Structure 1
Amino acid sequence: MQVDTPVLETRGLTKSFRGFTAVDSVDLCVQEGHVHALIGPNGAGKTTVFNLLTKFLPPTRGEILYRGEAITTLKPNEIARRGIVRSFQISAVFAHMTALENVRVALQRRLGTSFHFWKSARTLNVLDERALALLDEVGLAAYAHTLTTEMPYGRKRALEVATTLALDPSVMLLDEPTQGMGAEDVDRIVALIKRVSVGRTVLMVEHNLSVVSRLCDRITVLARGAILAEGDYAMVSSDPRVREAYMGREAPEPDALEVRA
């Protein structure tokens, strides 16, 4: 496959709520193997785009394509089966299960028992080897038998990445993966995303522009639901329209975005 082949694409993607247009004719093109960021001020429509891509919301109009095939009318579970899997802003793991148990639940679909919660937990033991490997991949091997509620916040987010990987995604959608983290946890998650993005495509919403500058091949900037600018970090960070959207009219320095991120 050619490097420049889009794996995920939208054409005129629009979402309106009772006359308010949250996403306005967005043409997004995510390249195979890229880490692509979707950034913008609060209320720019970033998470709404994620919800449209994964069909948690139906679009008002427009198309969504995966590897050139229209997937606009598919249901969320059908989108996930195609390999497009997302995380959420708020950690979505089971608090009173261990890290190992969380990953095993995500792996259950391989056994065809995703909803067979009445079966003995022993039937899931065959998944332990893969679950432990995924925990090791995200740096959580030492937390395998720790209840999630007892894990530090940054490690919970890493666990969410592990449960996402358990669904064997070709495209990972990460919604603010470093939100609420201190510098040490941010660095850990950046290193983790670098590792798990090898051989995959990642589309991420992220407010921390230092993270974006370290990770992303391409950046799409949204403002008021529409694409304001697009390019690599150097290009978008020096765009006066982007600086104005983030900082107001009194922000002439090209690095102002990163300083205030």
Structure 2
Amino acid sequence: MSEHILETQNLTKEFKGFVAVSNVNLSVKTGHIHALIGPNGAGKSTVFNLVTRFLTATTGKILFEGRDITTTKPADIARLGMVRSFQISAVFPHMSVRENVRVALQRATGSAYHFWKSATSLNELNARADDLLEQVGLLSHADALTVELPYGRKRALELATTLALDPRLMLLDEPTQGMGHEDVGRITDLIRKVSANRTILMVEHNLSVVSRLCDRITVLQRGAVLTEGNYEQVSADPQVRAAYLGGSHAA
């Protein structure tokens, strides 16, 4: 297994002359929870979109498990094991919680689009679905309609549907955004729990979440890497305090 599951080399993205991401060299260590933080406009979401190929880099290279994926299609990247949660793992509001996870499991078994099948033919997936729901604390809600779930539990369900794809690298784009304090704590605990034997790269504006979860943090400013290290190192950096911690905490 490679020491670094994801690497970018001089990753750059220009939009009609505006440089949104400039020569970003990112190394995400296998088994780590790695955060991208920075103020508004720092380039965090653009980096996410580049590494998952929702955007095409102007220059630079992206490596996943040592494989060059700079020109690989997003769907193929997901099949390789890099899954972007809360976006490609959308839930179906008028299906039950269990049915949502079962649909995600269908994709993993190669029958994702066989919606013409009878529901009973999918019952073999119920045990695995329930196991995933138990992991995220939703087993007691398995038969509930997804639309009836509170917001925080919908995010937990999205996490379960992502886990159904058995990712080796999970990319979480602001997983606690819009949550109250109790839900933030619950989702933070869930991320820690499901990170076992997995690698996570996350954008997160809540610095308390970052300090609790992350092994390594990359700070972006104006599209470039400002500094990198653990939470104690980056939070003590005067440049980080001036650019981010001392100002608005919005991401």
TM-score, length-normalised on structure 2? 0.95
Aligned position for 2:8: 10
Aligned position for 2:234: 236
Residues 89, 176 of structure 1: 8 Å contact kept: no
CA distance in 2: counterparts of 1:120 and 1:21, whole angstroms? 51
Q: Does the alignment pair 1:186 with 2:184?
A: yes
CA distance in 1: counterparts of 2:12 and 2:233, whole angstroms? 26
Aligned position for 1:128: 126
Aligned position for 1:145: 143
CA distance in 1: counterparts of 2:40 and 2:87, whole angstroms? 14
Identity %: 67
CA distance in 2: counterparts of 1:25 and 1:121, whole angstroms? 49
Aligned position for 1:207: 205
Aligned position for 2:45: 47
Residues 95, 148 of structure 1: 8 Å contact kept: yes
Q: Does the alignment pair 1:118 with 2:116?
A: yes
Aligned position for 1:92: 90
What do you get for the CA RMSD once the two structures are aligned? 1.9
CA distance in 1: counterparts of 2:144 and 2:40, whole angstroms? 35
Residues 11, 24 of structure 2: 8 Å contact kept: yes
Q: Secondary structure, in 3 states, of the residue corresponding to 1:14?
A: strand
Distance apart, 1:20 and its partner CA: 1.4
Q: Which runs of 4+ in 1 moved over 4 A?
A: none
Distance apart, 1:172 and its partner CA: 0.6
Aligned position for 2:221: 223
Residues 243, 257 of structure 1: 8 Å contact kept: no
Distance apart, 1:53 and its partner CA: 1.0
Which deviations, in whole Å up to 9, do the C-alpha atoms of 1:167-195 show, x marking residues without a partner? 00011101101111111111111110111
Distance apart, 1:122 and its partner CA: 2.2
Q: Secondary structure, in 3 states, of the residue corresponding to 1:199?
A: coil
CA distance in 1: counterparts of 2:143 and 2:213, whole angstroms? 31
Distance apart, 1:91 and its partner CA: 8.2
CA distance in 2: counterparts of 1:246 and 1:90, whole angstroms? 29
Show structure 1 runs of 5+ residues with no match. Answer: none
CA distance in 1: counterparts of 2:223 and 2:108, whole angstroms? 38
Q: 1:24 aligns with which of 10, 22, 25?
A: 22
CA distance in 2: counterparts of 1:24 and 1:191, whole angstroms? 34
- Kindly indicate whether structure 1 or structure 2 has the higher relative contact order, using CA contacts under 8 Å at least 6 residues apart: 2
Which deviations, in whole Å up to 9, do the C-alpha atoms of 1:214-240 show, x marking residues without a partner? 000000001111111100001111111
